[in-house]
Amino acid sequence: MECFNSYNDAKRAESYAKLEFPGTYYLAYRDLPRIISEHVKGKRSLDFGCGTGRSTRFLHKLGFDVIGVDVAEGMIEKARQRDPRGSYHIVGDGDLSHLQANTYDLVLSAFTFDNIPTVQKKVKIFGELRRLLRREGKIINLVSAPEIYTHEWASFSTKDYPENKSARSGEKVRIVITELEDKRPVEDIIWPDEDYRKVFERAGLNLVETYRPLAKASEPYEWVNETKIAPWVIYVLSCIV
């Protein structure tokens, strides 16, 4: 089965190329500099599922020598247009076999696993990412919390999709990104914490730390549920040795 990716079309790529870190997305990235500085040594990085290069540029600004890879050709084209000096590459169906093992100090995956179906597919790809890490390297896996699909947010809406509330692990859920011009719902794969932990173990990864960022009332956004419900989960992973 190929990686499920509802972002892989020209209209979405055009919208995402303009998206940076507004509203609810701000919480996904706010704490990453501190988390990375606490857990990562070295500056070689891979942005897995880079999309239009938002996370790749973010890592570059933190001083990383970073490569961005994605399955969506349209997204990669926009990333190259936005960042001509960056390094962006297509990977067919998440195939990372051409990348050298024991190379990266950090592999960042921002929202990518929201679109990867089945236990088997997730385990296989995490196993590949593990192969790419240096001995003390870390994977930071940033994903949507299941709660994001059943509440309203500064940057997202799910009110038109009440069926999300009954979705089981591995099933599709729909959400509208209100920050985008493209108002079509995105289809993601819901995956709870307990199932991620099983995937990590099967892929030979150790869960080092879990973060669930909450908003602060003092921050310059019109929060909806972000101050009391975490929309994102950030997993820090290392190789089991």
CA torsion sign, 199 to 203 to 208 to 211? negative
Q: Kindly compute the dihedral angle of the four CA atoms of residues 50, 53, 57, 59, in this order, to the nearest 10 degrees.
A: 0
Contact status, residue 32 vs residue 138, Cβ threshold 8 Å: no
Residues in contact with 86: Cβ distance below 8 Å, sequence separation at least 6, in sequence order:
53, 56, 57, 60, 66, 68, 79, 80
Residue 127 CB neighbour total at 10 angstroms: 15
Contact status, residue 134 vs residue 102, Cβ threshold 8 Å: yes
Between 63 and 15, whose confidence is greater? 63
Looking at residue 1, what is its pLDDT?
A: 31
Looking at residue 4, what is its pLDDT?
A: 43
Largest alpha-carbon pair distance within the chain?
46
pLDDT in tens, 23-58: 999 999 999 999 999 999 999 999 999 999 999 999
Looking at residue 19, what is its pLDDT?
A: 54
Looking at residue 179, what is its pLDDT?
A: 84
State the amino acid at position 199 in one-letter form: V
Looking at residue 12, what is its pLDDT?
A: 53
Looking at residue 183, what is its pLDDT?
A: 84
C-alpha angle with apex 10: 8 to 14, nearest 5 degrees?
110
Q: Domain locations in the chain?
A: 10-147+197-239
Contact status, residue 74 vs residue 102, Cβ threshold 8 Å: no
Q: Quick check: 18 pLDDT over 60?
A: no
pLDDT in tens, 180-219: 878 889 999 999 999 999 999 999 999 999 999 999 999 9
The region, left, alpha or beta by phi > 0 then psi within -120 to 50, assigned to residue 206 is beta
pLDDT in tens, 57-115: 999 999 999 999 999 998 999 999 999 999 999 998 768 999 999 999 999 999 999 99
Looking at residue 225, what is its pLDDT?
A: 98
- Please name which of 30, 39, 4, 41 lies closest in space to residue 189, comparing C-alpha atoms: 4
pLDDT in tens, 114-164: 999 999 999 999 999 999 999 999 999 999 999 999 999 999 999 999 999
Q: What is the mean pLDDT of residues 159-176?
A: 97
Looking at residue 17, what is its pLDDT?
A: 46
Looking at residue 44, what is its pLDDT?
A: 98
Looking at residue 100, what is its pLDDT?
A: 95
Contact status, residue 154 vs residue 224, Cβ threshold 8 Å: yes
- Strands 133-144 and 205-211, by their bridges, are unpaired
In whole angstroms, what is the distance from residue 116 CA to residue 123 CA?
A: 10
Looking at residue 3, what is its pLDDT?
A: 41
Class at the top of the CATH hierarchy for domain 10-147+197-239: alpha beta
Contact status, residue 223 vs residue 217, Cβ threshold 8 Å: yes
Contact status, residue 134 vs residue 103, Cβ threshold 8 Å: yes
